[in-house]
Amino acid sequence: MKYIYMVLLLCTLHVSAQNLTGTITDRDKHALENVNIYNLSKGSHTHTDANGTFVLPAPRLQDSLVISRLGFKTYYLVVDQDLLSEPLVVELEEASTSLDQVVLTAEVNSLSTVVAVDLKLNPVKSSQEILRKVPGLFIGQHAGGGKAEQIFLRGFDIDHGTDVAISVDGMPVNMVSHAHGQGYADLHFVIPETIENIDFGKGAYYADKGNFNTAGYVDLRLKEHLDASSISVEAGQFNTSRLTGLFNLVDEQNHTAYLASEMYLTDGPFDSPQNFNRFNVLGKYTYTNPNKDKLTLTASHFQSKWDASGQIPQRAIDQGLIGRFGAIDDTEGGQTSRTNINLNHLKNLEHNAVLKTNAFVSKYDFELYSNFTFFLEDPVNGDQIKQQEDRFIAGLQSVYERRHVTLGSGSLEYQAGVGFRYDNVDDMSLSHTLNRQTTLDRIALGDVDELNAFAFLNTEFKTGKFTFNPAVRLDYFKFDYYNKLTETYDNKSESKVAFSPKFNTIFSPTQNWQLSLKTGIGFHSNDTRVVVANSGEDILPAAYSVDLGTIVKPIDRLALNATLWTLFLDQEFVYVGDAGIVEPSGKSRRMGVEVGARYQLLDWLYVYGDANYTYARSTEEADGEDYIPLAPKFTSAGGLSVDNLNGFSGTLGYRWLGDRAANEDNSIVAAGYFVTDFNVNYTIKNWTLGVIVENLFDVDWNETQFATESRLFNEPAPVEEIHFTPGTPFYLRGKITYRF
């Protein structure tokens, strides 16, 4: 480690006088971050930091440069002596988002930048759409809209977040040791209209992403200021209504503040009304001082209540006991809330360095009633369960970031970070209940304290057309569980350390072609109740992953991407929150191929599509009995978007999930689906009129499916078969937005 520090020190002393330096802003003098500056003559590149500043190593006279960022006109210039004598100041002019604004420099995560075009041309319209913006990521809802969605990515049935790390403005969303399931990630506290960008990465290749970053990560960045205040009213089928307001409170050079709120009501298409309601409110304040230091404070509150019809067995429909949107137990449902305070601070230091600090606290409550097996365990009262918890979360992360360090003819960037996350969960319980009113039996009850402290070092060496990215991360976990159902005091504690090295190599032969080889080790922690039950053994299963990928732009307005990947997951133990038991799950391997295409046919017409194939198997089971239940085999999503065509905009999109095994021997199959959605908007002056249609062709599809053994009230013996939540039928809504 001392040699790394010596290299970094030497690098800070080597600064060429012939470097090109500068600042890039928009026309309102706001600094623009992550603007690409690409030397067409040499193939070298750099990008701006949070203050809009950059350093391009040693360009030569008459070198041609291109400066580009999504949403702005591309800027070209030729290096002359004046440019090298004085810092360059460039104001980029806003323009309609287009693929020709994307330059494929040797960045570790360029695909996220390419896919950002999708978000700009087709903004998120509901909380359910947020994660679908990630190519290859599918979700499913199976508890009335208030429960976190089930997630599928890279051959993983991630449940509610076990193998994908999700965060909002640096604050983690995943809940460790959750009453319902490990990694539970409920994004419903995010108001879609406040999203500025969705950053994502697949695989375990990112040192600043820790727990749950195995299949990938998703980072949401919320807007710091609003272009305008607005009020939206949305109404549609199934007694659906949504009222949204975004209000600029302060919009000055050094101060910005806004308030956003949302109220959403619906009964859903089910025979038993969902009685769903969700309320969100968010306030965000940003202060920038003359030194360009920045302080951002965000406070939000979310609460939701709902009834649910749950997962129903196919045989109940075949026998005429219920309809497709009926229920065996219509007293399922729940309520939840989350209050967040999130502070982000950026401090500018000498030598193009910044110190970024993020601190957050959250207060979270959760109560969920479910019935998966009906009358299997209790033939008189039924098998309804209640899961409940009361949680407090606190965390802090500080990252020292140094950019634009000249190293010979190349440059060095590095980030060194430390931080922690602490979860205190009181009265985490699993109970057997009747009609959401009577507690028949307590199955589990206890308190959890879980601490994760971490440090990481991420380095990027850029030389010519190459970027080399060695990195390492160290995580320390301490798990405590107090079992309140024992007669005597029973407090168990375990600790563990995870070491996660990464190494990525990116090569850009031209501004329109990138090749990458990524390698890394990641992990996800197991539930605290698993940890203490297994005496701290096999509690941080590692994920070993490799990606070989390419992105190419054969023409300015066409981007193609392809990736071959593999991932091996170590032994793990799973806490089944629905039963209060620990189940072992063996090693597994996944291999896959991903392809995607994006084409700007015309200034106003954009086409996109992604397809993914995964082979997923357990490695310790016999052939034919080694299927991983519900692991997606084939997925695809895409569509076409119209933007700014005489005031019209809209999207026609599809989602395709293929058939997949629902159990280990593939004797029960979860049926796939192909669903088409449509929306269109017309803007005139300050008004926007919109129509949203989900499931345009009204196909019957199953949103979530499980192979479950259950028994109906009139059955003498249990039956194992597909239990499913029906997908939304044709669903029409209208929307009116006024901006002021």
Mean pLDDT over residues 13-21, rounded? Answer: 59
Judge whether residue 274 has pLDDT over 80. Answer: yes
Mean pLDDT over residues 580-608, rounded? Answer: 87
Reported as a single tens digit per residue, the pLDDT across 460-504 is 998 888 999 999 999 999 999 999 998 777 888 999 999 999 999
More confident residue, 113 or 467: 467
Tokens matching residue 278: 């969700």
Tokens 């990215």 belong to residue: 469
Judge whether residue 665 has pLDDT over 90. Answer: yes
164-168 sheet: strands from edge to edge = 171-172, 164-168, 216-222, 195-202
Do the beta carbons of residue 481 and residue 448 sit within 8 Å? Answer: yes
Nearest to 540 by CA among 523, 555, 553: 523
Tokens 């990641």 belong to residue: 522
Reported as a single tens digit per residue, the pLDDT across 350-360 is 888 999 999 99
Reported as a single tens digit per residue, the pLDDT across 21-35 is 889 988 878 788 888
Q: What is the pLDDT of residue 576?
A: 58
Q: What is the pLDDT of residue 205?
A: 97
- Domains of the chain, by residue range, sit at 19-95, 109-202, 216-394+413-739
Mean pLDDT of the chain: 91
Nearby residues of 36 by Cβ (< 8 Å), 6 or more positions away: 45, 47, 66, 67, 68, 69, 103, 105
Instruction: Label the pairing between strands 88-92 and 20-26.
Output: parallel
Mean pLDDT over residues 332-352, rounded? Answer: 95
Distance CA 315, CA 334 (A): 26
Count the Cβ atoms, other than its own, within 10 Å of residue 201: 21
Alpha helices by DSSP H, listed for 575-678, are none
Any idea which of 89-103, 335-349, 564-578, 608-622 has the lowest mean pLDDT?
564-578
Do the beta carbons of residue 110 and residue 301 sit within 8 Å? Answer: no
- What is the helix, strand, coil percentage profile of the chain, to 5? 5, 60, 35
Count the Cβ atoms, other than its own, within 10 Å of residue 196: 12
Reported as a single tens digit per residue, the pLDDT across 178-205 is 999 899 999 999 999 999 999 999 999 9
Superfamily of domain 19-95: Carboxypeptidase-like, regulatory domain (2.60.40.1120)
pLDDT band at 574 (very low <50, low <70, confident <90, very high): low
Judge whether residue 338 has pLDDT over 60. Answer: yes
Tokens 């939540």 belong to residue: 725
Q: What is the pLDDT of residue 5?
A: 44
Q: What is the pLDDT of residue 579?
A: 56
Mean pLDDT over residues 693-697, rounded? Answer: 97
pLDDT band at 581 (very low <50, low <70, confident <90, very high): low
Reported as a single tens digit per residue, the pLDDT across 198-229 is 999 999 999 999 999 999 999 999 999 998 99
More confident residue, 522 or 486: 522
Indicate the fold that domain 216-394+413-739 takes in CATH. Answer: Maltoporin; Chain A (2.40.170)
Considering the domain 109-202, what is its CATH architecture? Beta Complex (2.170)
Judge whether residue 552 has pLDDT over 80. Answer: yes
Q: State the first-to-last Cα distance of the chain, in angstroms, to the nearest integer.
A: 55
Nearest to 502 by CA among 214, 183, 173: 214
Instruction: Label the pairing between strands 542-555 and 45-47.
Output: unpaired
Tokens matching residue 556: 């300015």
